[in-house]
Amino acid sequence: MCVRAVMCVLWAACVCQADPNIIIMLMDDMGWGDLGVFGEPSKETPNLDLMAAQGMLFPNFYTANPLCSPSRAALLTGRLPVRNGFYTTNAHARNAYTPQEIVGGISQDEILLPELLKKKDYISKIVGKWHLGHRTQYLPLKHGFDEWFGAPNCHFGPYNDSSRPNIPVYNNSEMKGRYYEDFEINVKTGESNLTQIYLEEGLKFISQQATAQQPFFLYWAPDATHAPVYASKHFLGKSQRGRYGDAVMELDYSVGQILAQLVSLGIHNNTLVFFTSDNGAAVMSGPHQSGSNGPFLCGKETTFEGGMREPAIAWWPGRIPAGTVSHQLGSVMDLFSTSLSVAGVLPPDDRVIDGLDLSPALFNSSLQDRPIFYYRGNQMMAVRIGQYKAHYWTWSNSWEEFNMGINFCPGQEVPGVTTHTQEEHALLPLIFHLGRDPGEKYPISVQSKEYMDVLRQVTAVVHQHQGALIPGAPQLNMCDLAVMNWSPAGCERLGKCLKGPESKPWKCDWPH
């Protein structure tokens, strides 16, 4: 350990020889437009706005899929869900995830960021939502994390135990209780202490590693802004936006606490912190349970900008220039590659890595050309190169759902774009200039020179991508009530083991 010891002298700047710590703060369903610095009118995120003022803002940062599980799998593997298997082939262009009845999870063949960081003896902890599979073999400690405090699935519920168990909360490899039972979320009032618990878990871990002069990776993934949204008593009623804004304010407060702790421990100059979200705001959930995608079209579940563009801030005092904006096109998968890069670990060379090392943007303010692919399931729906985005397939959701009142684009309607049938545009993709038209309202005329020039460039990129693409085995096809969280490890000690039904697998139904 001593080679990593931080050498400091009182009268000079701290020269940190240690491998840098890495903190990824991943929000759940928080939209691009939810931060003050990204234009939320109530300006309720002073800590995040300050983080941006002290760091680098990425207004062009994307998830790899507009839904939790595949987004998180992509972040931790540096690979598109179509490669790491976090998709379904049960139906065309459907987002799949890991509800309790899912049989699959993250493949043993995938290599996750914390596994690679072990090469440099990092200690890794995940706090909060995992969502890469809840069966024993899929849990975080089987995939490189040393510690975990959180839950494998969404905090949906409360459920009736006899037909559906409440989601367990784990401390490392054993459950500590269940949501709604031992870890309360009052669905009526929206009160829950979970964000405070997740904050404390994060702070404690940071403090322990700093004391031990131990380089660490903290994957801080609270889920307070995922419906049903919650906040602790102190924050309820504090925002101008109702319960959703209250949750944002508590998360913002927590971010401030974590950054302040880094400073007070003196490790801020040796810690890369990256803040982002897993998918766009779930605008279909209405104004009480979802956030804002700012000027962008639609939200979660869709491959419009509202579904996939994410708030993103990088912070590393002394290394990342303060108060800067990078127009680098970025992706959650880049956090895999960038983390490896700053830790000095080479990425795997036996597989395609989609992540880009953002070091040039972070440390030299330089930009790299790269495409952004927008997938829904295993279907590439759209691609962005530079300021241009080409849609090869469009749909928001089905007429059946829409007519039932489920609207993925409330208040928005762009004829021919926000379609309710799956529309293929392979021959003449719908092309938008996201600089002058961030809302994807004005397809560029197919008769223009601009269109033809962009089409030529984008076609080459798409051909190259699709020609070389070997999809991973799909992990999200099968469901079975028997696999639900009936008896997670540690349930015996708590008297929380439940008996599930016989195994009766079926092909999962993914409507979106």
Which residues would be at the binding site for a second copy (CB under 8 A)? 33, 36-43, 53, 57, 59-60, 239-242, 244-245, 286-288, 292, 294-295, 297, 325, 327, 387, 410-414, 433-442
- The distance between the two most distant Cα atoms of the chain, rounded to a whole number of Å, is 69
Encoded tokens for 419: 């379609």
At 361, is the secondary structure helix, strand, or coil? helix
Residue 19 counted as an annotated binding residue: no
Name the β-bridge partners of 276.
Answer: 26
45: closest CA among 204, 262, 203, 277? Answer: 277
Question: Of 8, 14, 68, 288, which one is the catalytic site residue?
Answer: 68
29 binds Ca ion (CB under 5 A): yes
Q: Considering beta carbons, is residue 113 or 221 the nearer one to Ca ion?
A: 221
Strand order in the sheet with 309-310: 309-310, 61-62, 330-331
The residue (of 99 and 242) whose beta carbon lies closer to a second copy is 242
Closest distance of CB 356 from a second copy, Å = 20
- Residue 407 Cβ vs a second copy, minimum distance, rounded to whole Å: 10
Q: Which is nearer to a second copy, 60 or 485 (CB)?
A: 60
Q: Is 477 annotated as a binding residue?
A: no
CB 310 within 8 A of CB 276: yes
- Tell me the residue type at 179: Y
**381 contact choice in a second copy, Ca ion, none (CB below 5 to 8 Å, kind-dependent):** none
Of the candidates 354, 265, 363, 355, the one whose C-alpha atom is nearest the C-alpha of residue 314 is 363
Rounded Cα gap, residues 113 and 341, in angstroms:
11
* Binding of Ca ion by 334 (CB under 5 A): no
C-beta of 312 vs 484, nearer to a second copy: 312
For residue 147, state whether it binds Ca ion (rule: CB under 5 A): no
Question: Does position 279 bind Ca ion by CB under 5 A?
Answer: yes
Least spacing, CB of residue 53 vs a second copy, in Å: 7
Asked if residue 491 belongs to a known ligand binding site, the reply is no
Q: Residue 89 is encoded by which pair of tokens?
A: 């082939």
Please confirm, yes or no, whether 68 is among the known catalytic residues: yes
Name the one range near Ca ion by CB under 5 A: 17-25, 270-278, 311-319, 325-333. Answer: 270-278
Q: Least distance to a second copy from the beta carbon of 195, Å? A: 19
Q: If you search the block for the tokens 């697998």, which residue do you land on?
A: 505
Burial of 463 (0-12, 13-18, 19+ CB in 10 A): exposed
**HEC letters along 66-116:** CCHHHHHHHHHHCCCHHHHCCCCCCCCCCCCCCCCCECCCCCCCCCCHHHH
Catalytic residue among 131, 134, 155, 425: 131
Q: Give the separation between CA 150 and CA 179, rounded to whole angstroms.
A: 10
Name which of a second copy, Ca ion, none residue 36 binds, using a CB cut-off of 5 to 8 Å depending on partner kind: a second copy
Q: Is 278 marked as a binding-site residue?
A: yes
Ligand-binding annotation for 182, yes or no, is: no
Pick from 44, 191, 246, 278: which binds Ca ion (CB under 5 A)? 278
Q: How far is the CB of 97 from Ca ion (least distance, A)?
A: 9
Binding residues: 28-29, 68, 278-279
Binding residues for Ca(2+): 28-29, 68, 278-279
* Residues known to be catalytic: 68, 131
